[in-house]
Amino acid sequence: MDKITEALKQYPKLSESEIKEQVALILSDKMAPNNNKKVYENILSCIDLTSLNTTDTEDSIESMTAKVNDFGENYPELRNVAAICVYPSMVKTVHDTLTEGVEIATVTGSFPHSQTFIEVKMAETSLAILDGATEIDIVFPIGKLFEEKYEDIVDEIQEIKAACQDAKLKVILETGILEIKDIENAAILSMECGADFIKTSTGKLSVGATTTAVYAMCRMIDEYFKISGRKVGIKIAGGVSTTEEAVKYYTIVDAVLGKDWLNKDLLRFGTSKLANVLATDILGEKKEYF
């Protein structure tokens, strides 16, 4: 535990007030140049098209997947979304329907609360991968963070990372209920345990992504890259439903992490609404394709 605590201390931290100041400067100086159709198109190609509803059915997920399949034919001037994200029970439906080269993402480990046995989390992850999932989104064990059970957190995330095999692991920090210091520590622990992406939110709570949380996460990704040489991606999810909001987050990622992160390999937006909004703003007419 002392080793983990020492590892957390080597990362320079900022207060919430300092972060708010930096965010305001970035958005005032750099957002306008990013407010253009080329950026909108890039954001569209970074979307994890998401359906995580109680009412999801095989038919509804097949329909969504078929629209992804046909997107290039209907909009040849636009790049397709990065991934389709569904519940584990729907992964096989996506896998059996999908013909395009987009990723199949799913949420495992008692989403959205992460309150179940580690054995269940690992089993659900393994079963999802057997059904065709190529990306796994899990929720960070926040209760253990509050209790500073860092060793338990490390063991859990590392075990799930191992269960992922070749699939990418995204760790959801649920930043809307965390203070900045907790966001920073959760980000560091997740990356040190092998996370390929850190993600803001499940989208199931009243507070989702915020500019301060995204800035804090980007700073930790940057610091981790300086120490390890490994690039970790960021996924922004939870209430991102307008082009303006998406461009704000894109601008923060651009300013803190740079151009290398402005692609689907290192940047994702988890949303069910944003694709249509972006397509509308890109093409200049109302689109309700997805």
Q: What one-character-per-residue DSSP string does the chain give? A: -HHHHHHHHTS----HHHHHHHHHHHHHHHHHHH-SHHHHHHHHTTEEEEE--TT--HHHHHHHHHHHHHHHHH-TTSPPPSEEEE-GGGHHHHHHH--SS-EEEEEESSTTTT-S-HHHHHHHHHHHHHTT-SEEEEE--HHHHHTT-HHHHHHHHHHHHHHTTTSEEEEE--GGGS-HHHHHHHHHHHHHTT-SEEE---S-SS----HHHHHHHHHHHHHHHHHH----EEEEESS--SHHHHHHHHHHHHHHH-GGGSSTTTEEEEESSHHHHHHHHHHTS-----
Q: For all residues of the chain together, what is the average pLDDT?
A: 96
What number is the average pLDDT over the span 37-56? 98
Active-site choice (199, 248, 264, 281): 199
Residue 1 has pLDDT above 60, yes or no: no
pLDDT of residue 3: 82
> Where are the chain's structural domains?
2-282
Would residue 137 show up in a list of annotated catalytic residues for this protein?
yes
pLDDT at 94 over 60: yes
pLDDT at 148: 93
Average pLDDT over residues 225-239: 97
Rounded mean pLDDT, 224-243: 97
CATH number of 2-282: 3.20.20.70
Query: Does the pLDDT at position 250 exceed 90?
Result: yes
Greater confidence (253 vs 7) lies with 253
pLDDT higher than 90, residue 6:
no
pLDDT of residue 84: 98
Q: Answer yes or no: is pLDDT of 2 > 80.
A: no
264 is catalytic: no
Catalytic-labelled residue, pool 137, 196, 254, 281: 137
From 121, 144, 168, 235, the catalytic residue: 235
